[in-house]
Structure 1
């Protein structure tokens, strides 16, 4: 959520140590392998120690019979280190058929220690981005979303994700994935850029002096909130720089609806409508409509009729609307737009997989994703400026604002794998594929978003 997400710049030591680790990984890009459920044309057979020759008469018969059952012939290809032997099958067969053959061969000769398919393996996508190992939310066994296995099947390519937020700095780590976008802030009091709505979605900074927003309101530095959220969604992968986004192959449509003191729901509603390709008075046609809309924003209120109508219209265009559940440690039913109908409302979890201390909760929450907490926040793109823009950098932030774009990224991966999915199907599959919470997370929905299982479910869906 805007303002409640606290940035912490990476320490120079952390950056230096991670850079060294990244360089070491680049020397062994195939270090992580995953089984590919592809056909194979080989088996591995190992006889018990001391059995000579390689294939006894009984073993040859077992191999021949197993091959006949599958309509193939089998021949000896080569010996391996350790005493096993590779057997070539006359044609490729499915993993299930190969497993059945291996079991039949083992059962046919007690001198065989084991027989197994010689599976084809492939590299598991491990980005070479220099700060990737700081992104525990992507791959940590306990608290992560299991993104690397999903990336072997989808990258988000072909999907547009709208980020409705404070606008964006054209950070070098995601500029290749950035579309033009628009500024929907209608008043200069909030905009801080000297004008109203226009074609410039750049974030000029949302810093405020004490008392600017209201009597007694606190001073605050620029948050660069939209820049951080955008990096979580779609920072470029394998550019040996910075971080990697959940849907690193997707395009981001930045829509500025927040500025100093926040943003009006009327501006946010227009941005939602325009993002999906619906007409908005005074605005040109959106030629790159989004299939996922991320709203890392909210406030304590009922879901307004205007906001609900914009969400309904966006869903009717096929857009999945993902919303942060809120950072008030309260029931999400009191936070809008998390309490609107038809949205995917996202609570935040810690590295331990439990509910983050600040996260909203309740029956309106759809599922959860890593939002971080003290000691383990979410790493992403940022800017050095305290008021006006400075240079590109990276920072840690924590909040349901960080959890929502993780789910938006997974939704983009799903739609990249299966573009026919409807918003309701995406929501259903996100819930059914979510994994159980490893720690207490009462009121956090169906589970922690599971990118690997969600993409597999998308591929299997009609």
Structure 2
């Protein structure tokens, strides 16, 4: 039977009671080990691809980019450039920006491919730009730990100040794109997932038997030693299920009595799979950014759910390349804010992409004490900080949805991890709350409000932006004061008046047949109505939720506060309770509406309550 009076601490205790063991975790490809100054240990040191943009190609837009034809003269220039390093190349595909991806016949260092690109541009005057198609990785320092609370949402020092923000917004109507390893259909997440796309164009990286397709499911990214090049990795590594963890932080189901809460638990997630074995190519990531924001990508069906927020918990060393910057510029122009993890190398983030790209919101990580997490990158390119956790002490990590499989998918589970990958989705979730509060907000205003409403660091965090993101302050900065409904001339129709959370402040309903129009302002809201029921009369109470996903319960109490009847039907269902006054005198009856799950606020939390006797 449902419990009608759930509160947030209760949910946390429930989550702790159902947490599943995830098994030992080891370093994901491309991430530093738990040692300082490990910035050079990225698998992105090698690539077998190059991106070339020819001047004849049109720029990216809603109608898609037109690829410049690969003439024999262009291929000849490419062949001569390759001869300098003893490499041959072939044209593989065209990106959404109109650039050409060349495949090399072997892996080379990014430095050598950059030299090859420069040589080609010098030889061929029709080349607008040429650059390595680098492999980027998920920005996570994984760990094998267990925790019993999501401190990162509510603790004063290192938390997000999130619960009070939920009184204002839960992310209803906002879509967030998670550009990552794909997703697992975790039961604590699946209801908030929208159709995504697998952008991995290389079959061996994809690890799912093919290239691009409409299935963004994460099949695993485990590696054997040296699979990505000598010493990369140094030992076998388990699958990371990184995208599922990130998506759970943003939009895990909440108030369902199990598992974990999401920052914007009524938002939706569009997963775009770009990371697989050894990481993901820049060209694939750029296409995913364009598609996620509503832009056109040749050969890929249009995204039916363009994202207002894009989360990139990935990266690698180097400057921001033209391919990625062009994609980000297009996403911003289409109204999408791009949230990027700063990186986990304990060094200046200016040396890492896409953290150093223009127009992104770059996020550093704080620990439970509210200071810079030891691994977090820092510097002038950082905009804000958010909880990233620190699993050197087991109780201090970030808890989210995960999978127990070590190579291929296993049982759905929960995992505690640390990294700027964990910090970025906290900010992406807050951005979704802000947009839901004020849908007309621009990208520039959103970024400005995120930065101006941060709170001071509780401990040292030099080079961590303006402060720790404050969810409550950020959402309140969106304004959007609720407009009360116009007065009605119907004597049997009235509007709920707050505050009415207790018997002493109950709204009085004096006329039989009255229909009250009310709303659940937040997950902790309760509305109470007082009826003076004459002797021998039966009070019929009927509660109709305002949406199919709203689940509110109906309870009726006597004058002394004793429960006389209740109805606890599921989402979208009508609840009804009837109680009779068998006394010889008029008796007070208190009718109570309680939030259980679903929408909140003046729009999403609507209900009607009819009282007759």
Q: TM-score range by the shorter chain?
A: 0.7 to 0.9
Partner of 1:390: 410
2:322 match: 305
Aligned position for 1:253: 270
| Distance in 1, Cα, partners of 2:268 & 2:471 | 18
**What do residues 102-139 of structure 1 show as CA deviations (whole Å, max 9, x unaligned)?**
xxxxxxxxxxxxxxxxxxxxxxx667362276100000
Q: Which moved more, 1:141-150 or 1:452-461?
A: 452-461
Task: Map 1:20-419 onto structure 2 (within 5 A).
Answer: 29=6, 128=11, 130-131=14-15, 134-218=149-233, 219-373=236-390, 374-375=392-393, 376-419=396-439
Number of aligned residue pairs: give it.
344
2:269 & 2:331 partners in 1: Cα distance? 17
Stretches of structure 1 lacking an aligned partner (at least 5 in a row): 1-22, 31-124
CA contact (8 A) 1:168 1:203 kept: yes
**Structure holding more helix per residue:** 1
Deviation string, structure 1 residues 340-361 (Cα, Å, up to 9, x no partner): 0010000000000000000000
Larger radius of gyration: 2
**CA deviation after TM superposition for structure 1 residue 460, in Å:** 5.6
Higher strand share: 2
1:310, 1:126 → 2: CA distance? 42
Gaps of 5+ in 2: 17-147, 482-613
Instruction: Give the alignment partner of residue 456 of structure 2, picking from 436, 446, 452.
Output: 436
| 8 A Cα contact 2:437 2:480, kept in partner | no
Higher relative contact order (CA 8 A, sep 6+): 1
What is residue 422 of structure 1 aligned with on the other side? 442
CA RMSD in angstroms comes to 1.7
Asked whether the 8 Å contact 1:127–1:244 carries over to 2, the reply is: no
Structure 1: how far apart are the matches of 2:242 and 2:369? Answer: 25
Distance 1:309 1:26 in 2: 51
Task: Indicate if the aligned counterparts of 1:127 and 1:238 stay in contact, CA closer than 8 A.
Answer: no
Cα 1:404/1:454, change in 2 over 3 Å: same
SS in 2 for 1:134: coil
Mapped to 2, the partners of 1:126 and 1:427 lie a distance apart of 31
**Equivalent position of 2:531 in the other structure:** none
Aligned 8 A contact 1:348 1:403 in 2: yes
TM-score by length of 2: 0.55
Aligned-partner SS, 2:477: helix
Deviation at 1:217, TM superposition (A): 1.6
TM (normalized to structure 1)? 0.73
